[in-house]
Homo-oligomer: A and B are copies of this chain.
Amino acid sequence: MSDLSRRHLLAGSAMAAVAATLPKAAHAAAPQSGQQGPGFYRFKIGNYEVTAINDGTWYRKLDASFVRNAALPDVQKALADAFLPTDVVPIPFTTLVVNTGSKLIALDTGTGAALGAMMPQAGTFATNLAAAGIDPKSVDAIYISHFHPDHINGIKSKDGSLFFPNASINVPEAEWAFWMDDGNMTRAPEAAQFAFKNSRRIFGDVAGKVQRFVPGKEVEPGITSIAAPGHTPGHTAYSIANGNKSLLYVADATNNPWLFVRNPEWQAVFDADPNKATETRKMLLDRAAADKMLAHGYHWPFPASGYITKTAKGYELVPAMWSPNL
């Protein structure tokens, strides 16, 4: 019997007098919100203002295929050690928007809410960008780490228009060469077809607008591209440096940190060239650890920035402390 029908019964019975003395509120004056707070977080790198924008989380079913070279019970133990569920792997998405004072630059763009059926708790980038007070029209440049759909789909709105209409679109040359090559698409296994087709959907009709670059140089003042192949052929990391501060955006050099930062030899199903990806992962994490440099992982827990220390068997991510002030 529901509370309501029980109360109706009471009111209509000899119990009415008793009912009148029961506590009056069946619900708090303030109803439960049911909503998380805005998913953005700001910090400074020198004079640059960086905003981390969350695009939600993909709770991917955990099966034996997820880590190619580790036994499922070991993977489950690693998740349990981090107090995470062992049936799904939480894979958050967090991009960076850098306001240099003279330019607004987005590093990756999120899922574009285009993968909703596969990941219903992702696709919040546009909402969180708006909550952060950033108008997509004022973004001057987009830099892409690689062509997986959760990084490039935010370039377009669902209607196919450019979500950042005034932004230059900058992509790694090797990434373009790989994904836009029809021969590669033909030779790719069925499971990879989606990413090839998706790259065409995003870039096909705006190809003339896309600027390709070879990583290894400064692409904007203080922002340097770093070749980081393995996850995909042209996967690219970025460093942001201003004043005496810097940040290393490792993009997808690691997925979930409790699996792949702690166990850098573990290889995720998403890595195209697992051995090269491992080599790149260690190279970037070594650099962050040696330089005590703030690092940001696209799939690390929001706000997704932290420091890296070396351990006996790998690395540890020390999340940057949340600060109420910039």
The reply on A118 being an interface residue by CB < 8 A is: no
Find chain B residues with CB under 8 A from A21 CB: none
Is B104's CB under 8 angstroms from A28's CB? yes
The contact size tier of chain A is 35 or more
Instruction: Chain B residues near A41: list those with CB within 8 A.
Output: 36-37
Using a CB–CB distance below 8 Å, which chain A residues touch chain B? 23, 25-42, 49, 51, 54, 56-57, 81-84, 90, 92, 99-104, 121, 124, 131-135, 137-138, 140, 292, 301-303, 307, 309, 318-326
* CB-based nearest B residue for A308: B83
Besides the known contacts A37-B132, A39-B324, 9 further A-B residue pairs in the complex with CB atoms under 8 A apart: A25-B103, A28-B101, A33-B49, A36-B324, A37-B42, A37-B131, A54-B322, A56-B324, A92-B321
Which residues of B are found within 8 Å of A31, using beta-carbon distances? 99
User: Which chain B positions have C-beta within 8 A of A92?
Assistant: 321-322, 324
List chain B residues, Cβ under 8 A from A32: 49, 99, 101
Which residues of chain B come closer than 8 Å to A325, judged between CB atoms? 36, 56-57, 121
Distance in angstroms between the alpha carbons of A59 and B38 in the assembled complex: 25
Give A28's nearest chain B residue, CB to CB. Answer: B104
Q: With a CB–CB cut-off of 8 A, which chain B residues contact A302?
A: 322, 324
